[in-house]
């Protein structure tokens, strides 16, 4: 396995209507790192994420995932090593029951029946959703849907977990559970979100995007403490790093 698990080299991408979404993005993410990807609406986070499983291919530059350059020919290998959790679980849970959905990936990998069964049971247990197995997705709560969506990629045993806004639409308790779950994963994680408190809890490193470029890339505590940088990117300190409204500004 290569040391650099995910690498972007001067990647640019423009949508067919001419909108330039990425304008030369470069970074390297190493094995086991947990990276927060933050930025304003329209900064290019979602576009960047879609480059990882090769749903979008760069207009110029290169993307590498694990041992593979992401090209049209290597897509099956790339997608095998990468689990992508989409923002809206309704997009991700498309099978009749949660169990079918978690089995979807392993069955497509052509695994034997008992291995599929073991993976489904293991993934559901990992996210605490064993009891949801027979339930149809439309009957789940927001938090349950999120857990099921995460199980549906865990069952493929990916090396890298990619998540788009994992805490969106979750109530505070479900969000707290999600954070605990994410912290327990040893996978390489890339989390795109506006929830900077979640980034602070889960990610050791933060990449800030602004207008399709990397505006900052460094340890989370450093990046999220830089008010000038955050202000210029339509962001603000996580609530916990802000001063107490009663006791006055943080010293």
Partner 1 sequence: MTRGHSLGTSVAHLDEYASAETPIGRIDPRAKLLTTIAFLVAVASFGRYQVLSLVPLALYPIALIALGDVPSGSLLWRLLLVSPFALLIGAFNPLLDHTPLGTFGPVHVTGGWASFASIMLRFVLSVSAALLLVATTGFDAVCAALARLGVPRILVVQLLFMHRYLFVLVEEVSRTSRAFALRSPDRSRPSMRVAGTLLGQILLRTLERAQRVHSAMICRGFDGEVRLRRELRWRAADTAFVACWSAFFLLVRSHDLTRWLGTAISGAIG
- Contact residues: partner 1, CB under 8 A: 50, 53, 55, 75-76, 79-80, 82-84, 86, 88, 90-92, 94-97, 100, 103-105, 107-109, 113, 116, 137-138, 152-153, 156
* Cα torsion through 188, 194, 197, 198, rounded to 10: -30
Task: Please say which residue, 59 or 113, places its beta carbon nearer to partner 1.
Answer: 113
What's the CA gap between 129 and 123, in Å, rounded?
A: 8
Q: Which is nearer to partner 1, 126 or 234 (CB)?
A: 126
Structure letter (DSSP) for residue 132: G
Q: Minimal distance in Å, beta carbon 145 to partner 1?
A: 12
Q: DSSP for 139-186, please give it.
A: GS-HHHHHHHHHHHHHTT--SEEEEESTTTT--HHHHHHHHHHHHH--
Toward partner 1, which CB reaches closer, 35 or 82?
82
Q: Give the Cα separation of 132 and 140 in Å (integer).
A: 8
Task: Provide the minimum distance between the beta carbon of 230 and partner 1 in the complex, in angstroms, as a whole number.
Answer: 29
Alpha-carbon span 1 to 67, nearest angstrom: 6
Min dist CB 235 to partner 1, Å, is 26
The least distance separating partner 1 from the CB of residue 213, rounded to whole angstroms, comes to 25
What is the Cα–Cα distance from 54 to 29, expressed in whole angstroms?
17
- Nearer CB in complex with partner 1: 24/69: 69
- Residue number, 40 or 95, with CB nearest to partner 1: 95
| For partner 1, the closer CB: 37 or 230 | 37
Whole-number CA gyration radius for the chain: 18
- Closer to partner 1 by Cβ: residue 8 or 86: 86
| Main-chain dihedrals φ then ψ at residue 101, nearest 5 degrees | -70, -40
- We find the least distance from the C-beta atom of residue 127 to partner 1, in angstroms, to be 16
Q: Which residues pair with 68 in a beta bridge?
A: 65
Q: Which of 25, 31, 33, 32 is nearest to 8 (CA)?
A: 25
Least separation, in Å, of the C-beta of 219 and partner 1?
30
* Smallest distance from partner 1 to CB 84, Å: 5
């Amino acid at each position: 396995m290569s040391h650099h698990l995910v690498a972007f080299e001067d990647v640019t991408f423009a949508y067919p209507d001419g909108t330039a979404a990425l304008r030369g993005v470069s970074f390297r993410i190493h094995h086991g790192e947990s990276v927060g990807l933050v930025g304003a609406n329209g900064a290019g986070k979602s576009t960047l994420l879609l480059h990882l499983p090769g749903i979008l291919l760069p207009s110029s530059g290169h993307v590498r995932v694990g041992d593979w350059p992401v090209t049209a020919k290597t897509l099956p290998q790339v997608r095998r090593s990468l689990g992508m959790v989409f923002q809206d679980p309704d997009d991700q849970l498309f099978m009749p029951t949660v169990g079918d959905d978690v089995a979807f990936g392993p069955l497509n990998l052509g695994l034997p029946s008992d291995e599929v069964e073991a993976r489904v049971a293991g993934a559901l247990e990992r996210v605490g959703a064993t009891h949801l197995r027979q339930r149809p997705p439309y009957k789940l709560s927001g938090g349950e849907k999120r857990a099921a969506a995460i199980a549906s990629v865990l069952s493929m045993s990916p090396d890298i977990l990619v998540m788009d806004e994992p805490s969106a639409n979750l109530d505070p308790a479900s969000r707290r559970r999600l954070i605990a779950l994410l912290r327990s994963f040893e996978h390489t994680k890339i989390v795109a979100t506006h929830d900077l408190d979640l980034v602070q809890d889960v990610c050791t490193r933060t990449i800030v995007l602004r207008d399709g470029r990397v505006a900052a890339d460094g340890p989370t505590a450093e990046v999220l403490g830089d008010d000038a940088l955050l202000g210029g990117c339509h962001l603000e300190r996580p609530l916990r790093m802000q001063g107490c409204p009663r006791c006055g500004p943080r010293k």
